[in-house]
Amino acid sequence: MAAESKFFNRELSWLEFNQRVLEEARNESIPLLERLKFLAITASNLDEFTMVRVGSLQLVQAEGDTRSDPCGLTPSDQLHLIGERMHAFASAQYECYLRDLEPALIEAGFHRVCPNELTDRQAHHVQTLFEQEIFPVLTPLAISLSKSEEGKPARKKASKKKQAAESAEAKVITEMPVFFPDSDVPSFPLLINQSLNLCVRLAPAAGSEVPRFAIVPFGRNRQRFITLPSDSGFSFILLEEVVTRFLAQLFPGEVIEECVPFRITRNADMELQEDQAFDLLSEMQEIVNARRQSACVRLEVADHGSATVREFLQTSVEVADEWVFPIPGPLDLSAFFRLTDSQGFDALRYEPWPPKPSSQIDPLESIFTAIAQKDILLYHPYESFDPVIRLIETAADDPDVLAIKQTLYRTSAKSPIVAALKRAAQKGKYVTAIVELKARFDEQRNIEWARDLERAEVQVIYGVKGLKTHAKVCLIVRREPQGIQRYVHFGTGNYNEITSKIYGDASLITCNEDLGADATAFFNTVTGYSQPQRFRQLEMAPIGMRDKLLEMIDAEIERKKHGQKAVIQAKLNALVDEQMIEALYKASQAGVKIRLNIRGICCLRPGVPGLSENISVTGVIDRFLEHSRIMYFYHGGDERLFISSADWMPRNLDRRVELLVPVEDAGARAKLMTILKTHFQDNVKARRLMPDGRYEPVKSSGVAVRSQEVLYNRAVQTVDEAAHAARTMFEPHRRPGTDE
Residue 251 exposure: Cα atoms within 13 Å on the Cβ side: 27
Helix residue ranges, H only, 96-181: 102-108, 120-129, 160-168
Domain 369-537, second-level architecture: 2-Layer Sandwich (3.30)
Q: What's the predicted TM-score (pTM) here?
A: 0.89
Of 67-76, 163-172, 471-480, give the lowest mean pLDDT range: 163-172
Of 5-9, 86-90, 286-290, 443-447, give the lowest mean pLDDT range: 286-290
369-537 and 540-722: identical CATH topology: yes
- Assess whether 562 carries a catalytic annotation: no
pLDDT for residue 706: 97
The pair phi, psi for residue 593, each rounded to 5°, is -85, 120
pLDDT for residue 151: 39
**pLDDT tens readout for residues 245-268:** 999 999 998 999 999 999 999 987
Q: Which of the pair, 663 or 453, is modelled with greater confidence? A: 663
Residue 583: closest CA among 546, 632, 634: 546
**Are residues 422 and 393 in contact, defined by beta-carbon separation less than 8 angstroms?**
no
**Are residues 454 and 426 in contact, defined by beta-carbon separation less than 8 angstroms?**
no
pLDDT for residue 178: 39
pLDDT for residue 527: 85
CB-CB neighbours of 339 under 10 Å: 19
pLDDT for residue 652: 95
**pLDDT tens readout for residues 571-620:** 999 999 999 999 999 999 999 999 999 999 999 999 999 999 999 999 99
pLDDT for residue 170: 34
Domain 540-722, second-level architecture: 2-Layer Sandwich (3.30)
Work out the percent of the chain whose per-residue pLDDT is above 90.
Answer: 72
Residue 507: closest CA among 634, 396, 417, 619: 417
User: What burial class does residue 673 get, using C-beta atoms within 10 Å of its C-beta: 0-12 exposed, 13-18 middle, 19+ buried?
Assistant: middle
pLDDT at 159 over 80: no
pLDDT for residue 292: 58
pLDDT at 160 over 70: no
Q: Which of the pair, 582 or 722, is modelled with greater confidence? A: 582
Q: Mean per-residue pLDDT for 133-148? A: 77
Give domain limits for the chain: 10-95, 122-319, 369-537, 540-722
**Cα separations in angstroms, 538 against 126, 544, 644, 721:** 61, 9, 10, 34
pLDDT for residue 736: 57
pLDDT for residue 206: 84
pLDDT for residue 507: 98
697 preceded by a cis bond (ω within 30 of 0): no
Please enumerate in sequence order all residues whose Cβ is within 8 A of that of 455, keeping only pairs 6 or more positions apart, or say none. none
pLDDT for residue 364: 87
Work out the percent of the chain whose per-residue pLDDT is above 70.
Answer: 87
Cα 602–605–610 angle (5° rounding)?
A: 155
pLDDT for residue 733: 66
Q: Which of the pair, 188 or 176, is modelled with greater confidence? A: 188
* Separation of alpha carbons 381 and 712, rounded Å: 8
CB burial of 253-270 (b: ≥16 within 10 Å; e: otherwise) equals ebeeebbbbbbbbbbbbb
Of 188-192, 263-267, 702-706, give the lowest mean pLDDT range: 188-192
Q: Which of the pair, 46 or 440, is modelled with greater confidence? A: 46
Q: How confident is the model at residue 530 (pLDDT cuts 50, 70, 90)?
A: low
* CATH number for the domain formed by residue range(s) 10-95: 1.20.58.310
Under CATH, what is the fold of the domain 122-319? polyphosphate kinase like (3.30.1840)
**pLDDT tens readout for residues 305-317:** 999 999 999 999 9
Q: Mean per-residue pLDDT for 288-295? A: 61
pLDDT at 155 over 80: no
Q: Is 206 helix (H, G, I), strand (E, B) or coil?
A: coil
Q: Which of 470, 489, 627, 679 is catalytic?
A: 470
Q: Which of the pair, 726 or 24, is modelled with greater confidence? A: 24
Beta bridge partners of 403: 430, 477
**DSSP secondary structure letter of residue 255:** -
Q: Is 186 helix (H, G, I), strand (E, B) or coil?
A: coil
Beta strand spans in 203-342 (E): 212-217, 225-228, 234-238, 256-266, 296-302, 324-327
Q: Which of the pair, 605 or 152, is modelled with greater confidence? A: 605
What's the mean pLDDT when you consider all of the chain? 88
